[in-house]
Structure 1
Amino acid sequence: MTTSRIIQVGSVPMGGGSPVSIQTMWDKPVSIVDDSLIAAVDNLNRKGCDLIRFALPNLQAVDQLAPLLKKTTMPLVGDIHFDYKIALKAIEAGFHKIRINPGNIGESWKIEEIIAAAADHGTVIRIGANEGSLNTSGEWSASARSQRLVEAAEGNLEIFERKGFRDIVISLKSSDIDVTYLSNKEFRKHHDYPLHLGITEAGPLIPAIVKSTIGLSGLLKEGIGETIRISISDSPEYEILAASELLTNLGLKKGRIKIISCPKCGRTSFDTHGFLESIKEELNTLPLEASVAVMGCSVNGPGEARHADLGITGNGKQVLIFKQGEIIRREDICSAKEAFLEELEQLRQEFSS
């Protein structure tokens, strides 16, 4: 298996053994960079997003988004189709990476101008192929389709390699799990470009998470894939949280809380769902590599979650907070959240000292 070369996307190293980076795409048109946009982007960063992509449908969109480059530390990616002038302007503005489809940019001289500008500015280019742009004739098996996907990506690479441009990320994406797996595995055998993984058009929240987990886990376990997007027909926040959870459970991402919680049942004396909802921002943004349990009753509390670094459960009108199975505080329900967050911060300090 070919090892990926390393490239630098702004402050984020990609490939060469670097941590797998997480990305999403902003889901609304942007007319102005205001405080709410900056806060939302920074919040995604705190939740695990390493770089974020914005659609640049016209030249005006570049001007509208360019101020964000100086307002956030997260690398920005410009998504461009059809007009090579948009790509040139995005590169000049300082976007750290652009995504183009060489097939819809047009004549080769336009692509060559993009390559020259990217080389001058240190801009990374993402190219690749998806099944929507492939010839549908021929055998329709997963292996045959994956081979056509690889050939399409290699065809897109030709002009870049001819010009000696190597700061490239490749994506081979399909809504089919098997095609995605086979095409990326085959491509990695022959090329060392960092791979952008994703199951494209994966659907709404639950189907998308299931399909993406099945489709990407095998590749990631084999060391294939340098950056990922969990494509979900829902909020970008869910894409980030799903990707972070996947990488954390595969042992590929550090510094995140692992949440242990039980579903409700007839024994429930503590509203696990409501409590989790009330502290989800802290759990999703606190830089802490620890296990945290939110359990519904004393049966599943300190007993089944004994190994948790910090946990909480209910017992009648009383709430119990425990560390590795040992009860350390008893609180009324009205003071439970404040007490638990105090212990969570104390745990962070202990782990960072």
Structure 2
Amino acid sequence: MNSPAGRRKTKALWVGNVQVGGDAPIVVQSMTCTDTRNVPATIAQIEALENAGCEIVRVAVPDADAAAVLGEIKKGIRIPLIADIHFNASYALMAIDQDVDGIRINPGNLGREKIADIVRSAREHNTVIRIGINAGSLEKNLQEKYGGPTAGAMAESALNHLALLEDMGFDRIKLSLKSSHVPTMIDAYRMVAEKTDYPLHLGVTEAGTLVNSAIKSSIGIGLLLHEGIGDTIRVSVTGNPVSEIGLAYGILRALDIRRIGPDIISCPTCGRCEIDLFSLVERVEQALVGMKEDLKIALMGCVVNGPGEAAEADVGIAGGRGTGLLFKKGRVVRKIKEEEFVEVLLQEIAEMTRHK
């Protein structure tokens, strides 16, 4: 499915076994919060992210010890691995030599000669380079020119660095222009999207905890996707990165761009609600983490209006006092006890997904 505005056509490139750009679906990414030097913990978190639907993962490389274990991590996971590099070009070279699928650098933190070394190595290993522009680490001369880390300053920085890599004969490039200020992020991506057809990785940096991140990311990432801008996304959340994946797919689903995993709809509750709907929703959500099948599931707190209000749902429950109605496509199937809600619903979902 494409964005309502029509997807911006970008160059296609492969990050490991995942295509980014071109006609490929919007790719969902995340980043580990483990100590990269702790290989078992990092691999375990990457596996959890993959199970939740993450398609590309990035790890921090703060020192040589972290850089040295990237190959071991790479061998222990199934999804493409990106090394996040700041300031030290030698870590980028170590990462590339261990066959990571991509690196993320901010060329403004590295000298031209060191970037040339990175480009030569990346070309030899077929490694993707993401030029990662961040409002918090923008070049001082551009901040002075624009009066701060504005969208214009970020766009100019990205295009300057893009031209630098192109002059070196390298074009396996992704771009990102992240800011914690949503309007700045939106404007920066729009500016760059008008001037280049390289794939864009969208994100609102330092978006905060779950609720704040959901708000900022839905507006920033969602608005750009609706305009057809963006090829990969990461929803940044303070805490366990697994929570990022559900939010990312929620944004894609809400825009009818990609429909992966369950779409759980539930009423806000009112005086007619006579069941513990909050607990019901939480238990069902937890049970379905990692589910890939597209299924609309309704959990309603009213047996009077519930089935009708959720008529478009594939399956759902409308609860009353101690009992509820199991329904499919708005049609009541049978009556069940409240203590059976989760078990019966999950059984129905399992049966439906077997036939999808």
After TM superposition, the score normalised by the length of structure 2 is: 0.91
Question: Given the alignment, which residue of 1, 8, 26 partners 2:14?
Answer: 8
1:201 matches 2:221: no
Q: Is the 8 A contact 1:270 1:313 kept in 2?
A: no
3-state SS in 1 of match to 2:334: strand
Distance 1:65 1:264, change over 3 A: farther
1:28 partner letter = T
What is the CA-CA distance between 1:30 and the residue it aligns to? Answer: 3.0
1:303 matches 2:313: no
Distance 1:331 1:38, change over 3 A: farther
Q: Tell me, which stretches of 5 or more residues in structure 2 are unaligned?
A: 1-6
The C-alpha deviation readout for 1:109-154, integer Å capped at 9, x for no partner, is 211111111111111011132222143335559xx92222111112
The count of residues paired between Structure 1 and Structure 2 equals: 347
The C-alpha deviation readout for 1:65-112, integer Å capped at 9, x for no partner, is 432212221111110112111111111112111111112223x22111
Match of 2:338 in 1: 333
Match of 1:349 in 2: 354
2:13 partner letter = I
CA distance in 2, matches of 1:300, 1:283: 25
Match of 1:62 in 2: 67
What is the CA-CA distance between 1:162 and the residue it aligns to? Answer: 1.2
What is the CA-CA distance between 1:45 and the residue it aligns to? Answer: 1.7
Match of 2:46 in 1: 41
1:314 matches 2:319: yes
CA distance in 2, matches of 1:42, 1:329: 39
What is the CA-CA distance between 1:163 and the residue it aligns to? Answer: 1.5
Match of 1:29 in 2: 35
Q: Is the 8 A contact 1:4 1:16 kept in 2?
A: yes
CA distance in 1, matches of 2:322, 2:222: 42
CA distance in 2, matches of 1:117, 1:130: 24
What is the CA-CA distance between 1:265 and the residue it aligns to? Answer: 2.8
Q: Is the 8 A contact 2:8 2:228 kept in 1?
A: no
CA distance in 2, matches of 1:326, 1:159: 61
Output the aligned Cα RMSD. Answer: 2.0
Moved over 3 A (4+): 36-40, 138-141
CA distance in 1, matches of 2:240, 2:332: 37
1:196 partner letter = H
Question: Given the alignment, which residue of 111, 127, 152 partners 2:157?
Answer: 152
3-state SS in 2 of match to 1:302: helix
Q: Is the 8 A contact 2:104 2:132 kept in 1?
A: no
What is the CA-CA distance between 1:166 and the residue it aligns to? Answer: 0.5
Match of 2:98 in 1: 93
CA distance in 1, matches of 2:143, 2:168: 30
Match of 1:227 in 2: 232
CA distance in 2, matches of 1:332, 1:183: 53
3-state SS in 2 of match to 1:248: helix
Distance 1:103 1:137, change over 3 A: closer
What is the CA-CA distance between 1:213 and the residue it aligns to? Answer: 1.5
The C-alpha deviation readout for 1:140-189, integer Å capped at 9, x for no partner, is 59xx9222211111221233111111001111122222222222112122
1:170 matches 2:175: yes
1:127 partner letter = I
Q: Tell me, which stretches of 5 or more residues in structure 1 are unaligned?
A: none
> Relative to structure 2, which stretch is displaced further, 95-104 or 57-66?
57-66
Distance 1:277 1:222, change over 3 A: same
Question: Given the alignment, which residue of 97, 115, 136 partners 2:143?
Answer: 136
CA distance in 1, matches of 2:119, 2:329: 55
3-state SS in 2 of match to 1:151: helix
Match of 1:286 in 2: 291
Match of 2:255 in 1: 250
1:243 partner letter = A
CA distance in 2, matches of 1:334, 1:186: 54
Q: Is the 8 A contact 2:37 2:65 kept in 1?
A: no
CA distance in 2, matches of 1:189, 1:30: 37
Q: Is the 8 A contact 2:8 2:229 kept in 1?
A: no
CA distance in 2, matches of 1:148, 1:30: 32
CA distance in 2, matches of 1:88, 1:281: 41
CA distance in 2, matches of 1:345, 1:39: 26
